Amino acid sequence: MKNKAFHHSALASAGVSVCRAICFSWFMVHFSLIGATTPRLVVGIVVDQLRSDYVEKFSYLYGEDGLKRLWSEGTVFVNGSFDFISPDRSSATATVYAGTEPCYHGIIGNRYLERKSLKVKACIDDAAFRGIHTAETTSPSGILVTTLADELKIATGGRSTVFSIAPERDMAVLAGGHAADAAVWLEDVNAYWASSSFYAGIPSWVDLYNRRTNSAYDFTSLKWTPYYPQSSYRDLSDETAKDFCHTFSTKSVRRYKTSAIINDEVTQLAKTCVISSPMGRDERPDLLCVGYYAGVYDHQAETYAPLELRDIYCRLDRNIADLIHTVEQYVGLDNVLFFITSTGYNDVHQPAVGAYNMPTGEVRMERCTALLNLYLGAIYGSGNWVEASFRNQIYLNHALVESLQLKLRDVQERCSEFLGQMSGVTRVYTSTELMEGDSSPAVRNSFNQGRSGDILLEIAPGWSLVDERWGETSWSSRALVPVPVVFFGNGIAAEKSTDPVSVNSIASTVATILKLNTPNGCAAKPLF
C-alpha cells in the first residue's frame, strides 16, 4: 500500500512538473509576442461590418502586403464575438476601446431615447460643445467608463498623443475616449473633416487636408469604379457582376461614406497624421484610432450591390497595406502594435420571403404601445401609462405608477404578459428582471439602467420592427457575424486560432502589452 501511495504521489508530482513545463513554455512563447520593448505607437483599426468569412472568401482579390500579411504574420482570432445582443456601430466601437459591455459603458446604440426629454439623441450629442466645421454638438461624455486611450493618457500624465479618425462621428469620438487630443470625422453636409470644441483644437494637418483642391481626394471630382476588370471578380457570374460608376456631390455625402473610396480618404488622412505629427517618435506610446467601412454600398442588401461589396474588401486590403507601409516607414514595425477588429453586425434586410413561404410579419410599435396603454388603463385606471417608445424599447410613466402607489415590478409583469401574446414577439424582458440578473447574460449586458427602456421586446427572426414615430424599420436576425480579432507588429508571432474569443479582451490585451491599467469597466482577461 505504501509503495502504491508513493507511486501515485510520484505520478502526481510528475504531472505537476509537466503542467508547469507546459505553462512555462506557453508563457515564454506568448511573452515573445509582446516583444522586448513597449511599442511606441498603437494603431487601432475598427472596420464597420467587417466579417472574418468575407475576408477569407474575397482573398483572391488581395495583394500580399495587406490583409493576407495580417493573416499570415499576425496573431489572428477568426471567431471573435461581442458579449451582448444586437451590437451596432456605436455600441461595438465603445466596447472595443472600453473592454466592457453597454450595461457598464452606457452606449446602448447609435441613438437612444433620453428619458428626461423623451427625445431621441445620438449617443455622442452634447449641447455644451460647439462643432468645428459642423453644426453638430459633440463630446464623449456619454461613455460612462474609461477607455484604452484614457488609461494611456493617465499613465503618461497626458504626454501621450491620441488621435482618432473615422468616417462617422460616433466611431471617431468613442474610439478617442474622454482624453483624446482630437477626434475627426467626415461631416455629412459639407464633406469637411470636422471635430468638436471639446478637444484642444482641430490639428493643423487636418486643416491643411480640408483645404486641398484639385487633388485625387477632391470630393466632388471623385468617381468610384471597380478596382479590377469585371472578369477578375471570379466568384460572381456575369449576370450578377454588373459594372458600376458612382459619383458624389455634397448632397450624397452619406452615400459616399458607404463606398469603397471613403476608406481611401480615411487612409490618406491617417497617413498625413503619421507623417505630420510626432506620433511614435519618442519612448512614450501613442495611440492612433482608425475607423473604416466594409458594409454594402448605400446600406442596401448584398444582392443589390455584390460587385461593390467585393470591391470594398479589395480596396480595404489596399488601404490597410498602404497604412502599414507608411507606419513601417516612419515609425518602424518593431515599434508599432496594430490591432484590427469589426463592429460585429451587418445591415439586415428583408429577404424575398414571399416567393418561398417563409415566416414573416411586422411588429408595429405604435399599435403595441396604444394597445398596452388601453390594457393597463383597464387594470389600473385610465392614464398615460406609456410615455414613449423607441425601436424595441418601451418607457413607462414612472410618475403615474408612483402616484397610484403601485409597484413598478407588478406593472412590468402585466406588460410582459400582454405583449408576450403578440405575433412576432419571441420574448419580453423587463428592466427589473434584467437588473436582477434573471435573464440571459447577453441580454443583460445590452441593458443600461439609465438609458434603456422599462420593457424590451425580442422580435422573431425574419420579422420586421416598424417604429412609425421615428420613421425606422429594422429586420430581426440572429445570424452569426464572425468577428476577426488580429494583432500585428511589435514582435507579435504568426498564429491563427479558431477558438471563440471576446472582443472585450482587446482592450485588456493592449493594456497589458503597454503595461497600463485596463479600463475601469474591463474585467476581461488578456488574450495573451
Q: What is the pLDDT of residues 329-362, one digit of tens each?
A: 999 999 999 999 999 999 988 766 667 788 899 9
Q: Is residue 3 part of a domain?
A: no
CA 478, chain centre distance (Å): 17
Give the least confident one: 331-340, 403-412, 436-445, 478-487.
436-445
Cβ proximity of 312 and 249 under 8 Å: no
Q: Per the structure, how many domains does the chain have?
A: 2
Cβ-contact 453, 431 below 8 angstroms: yes
**Long-range contacts of the stretch 201-205 (C-beta < 8 A, 24+):** 201/132, 202/132, 202/133, 203/163, 203/273, 203/277, 204/276, 205/272, 205/273, 205/276, 205/277
**pLDDT number for residue 32:** 43
CB 109 within 8 A of CB 119: no
Given the DSSP bridges, would you call strands 386-390 and 472-475 parallel, antiparallel or unpaired?
Answer: unpaired
- The answer to whether residue 122 is domain-embedded is yes
C-alpha distances in Å from residue 477, one per residue of 314, 346, 415: 27, 10, 24
In a shared domain, residues 103 and 177: yes
Put simply, whether the predicted model's pTM sits higher than 0.75 gets the answer yes
Instruction: Assess whether pLDDT exceeds 80 at residue 188.
Output: yes
Q: Where are the beta strands (DSSP E) in 4-107?
A: 41-48, 75-81
| pLDDT tier at 37, thresholds 50, 70, 90 | confident
**Would residue 76 count as lying in a domain?**
no
- Least trusted range by pLDDT, from 29-33, 55-59, 409-413: 29-33
If asked whether residues 404 and 260 sit together in one domain, one would say no
Question: What DSSP state is assigned to residue 232?
Answer: G
* Nearest residue to 48 via CA among 86, 78, 90: 90
Residues 101, 104, 110, 116: what is their CA dihedral angle, to the nearest 10 degrees? 150
Phi, psi of 286 (to 5 degrees): -120, 165
DSSP helix/strand/coil, 1: coil
State the Cα–Cα distance between residues 507 and 516, nearest whole angstrom.
10
Whether residue 270 sits in one domain with residue 407: no
Q: What is the pLDDT of residues 221-278, one digit of tens each?
A: 889 999 999 888 988 876 677 789 999 988 899 999 999 999 999 999 999 999 999 9
Q: Are residues 385 and 322 in the same domain?
A: no
Q: What is the CA radius of gyration of the chain?
A: 25
**Rounded distance between C-alpha atoms, residue 487 and residue 498, angstroms:** 15
Residues 341 and 393 in one domain: no
- pLDDT of 520 over the 90 cut: yes
Q: In whole angstroms, what is the distance from residue 304 CA to residue 180 CA?
A: 39
- The answer to whether 110 and 122 have CB atoms below 8 angstroms apart is yes
Does residue 16 register a pLDDT over 90?
A: no
pLDDT at 6: 36
Bridge partners (DSSP) of residue 489 are 337
pLDDT of residue 214: 59
The domain that holds 193 is classified in CATH as 3.40.720.10
| Same structural domain, 138 and 176 | yes
Q: Is 256 part of a structural domain of the chain?
A: yes
471 with 490, same domain: the answer is no
Q: Poorest-confidence range of 189-198, 238-247, 346-355, 497-506?
A: 346-355
Computed over every residue of the chain, the mean pLDDT equals: 91
Q: Are residues 95 and 238 in the same domain?
A: yes
81: in domain: no
Residue-level pLDDT at 235: 87
Is 374 found in the same domain as 227? no
Residues 112 and 257 in one domain: yes
Across the range 390-398, mean pLDDT stands at 97
Q: Beta strand pairing status for 455-459 and 393-396?
A: antiparallel
What local confidence, expressed as pLDDT, does residue 8 receive? 41
Q: pLDDT at position 59, please?
A: 97
Q: What is the pLDDT of residue 17?
A: 43
243 and 317: one domain? yes
pLDDT digits (tens, 9 = 90+) for 75-128: 999 999 999 999 999 999 999 999 999 999 999 999 999 999 999 999 999 999
Q: What is the DSSP letter of 125?
A: B
Is residue 1 a part of any domain in this protein? Answer: no
Question: Cα–Cα distance between 176 and 339 in angstroms, integer?
Answer: 15
pLDDT in the model for residue 4: 40
Query: What's the CATH number where 438 sits?
Result: 3.30.1360.150
Tell me the average pLDDT across 173-178.
98
What is the span of the domain harbouring residue 404? 364-475
pLDDT at 331: 97
Confirm whether 112 is domain-assigned. Answer: yes
Please answer whether residues 167 and 291 qualify as being in contact, where contact means their C-beta atoms are separated by less than 8 angstroms.
yes
Is residue 502 helix, strand or coil? Answer: strand
For residue 225, the Cα-to-chain-centroid distance in whole angstroms is 28
Predicted pLDDT of residue 31: 40
Q: What pLDDT, on the 0 to 100 scale, is given for residue 354? A: 64
- Asked if the structure places residue 60 within a domain, the reply is no
Across the range 444-466, mean pLDDT stands at: 96
Same domain, 227 and 328: yes
- 370 or 222, which is more confident? 370
How confident is residue 216, by pLDDT bands cut at 50, 70 and 90?
low
Distance, first Cα to last Cα, the chain: 44
488 pLDDT tier (thresholds 50, 70, 90): very high
DSSP assignment letter at 297? G
Report percent pLDDT > 70 for the chain.
91
pLDDT of residue 27: 37
| Structure letter (DSSP) for residue 517 | P
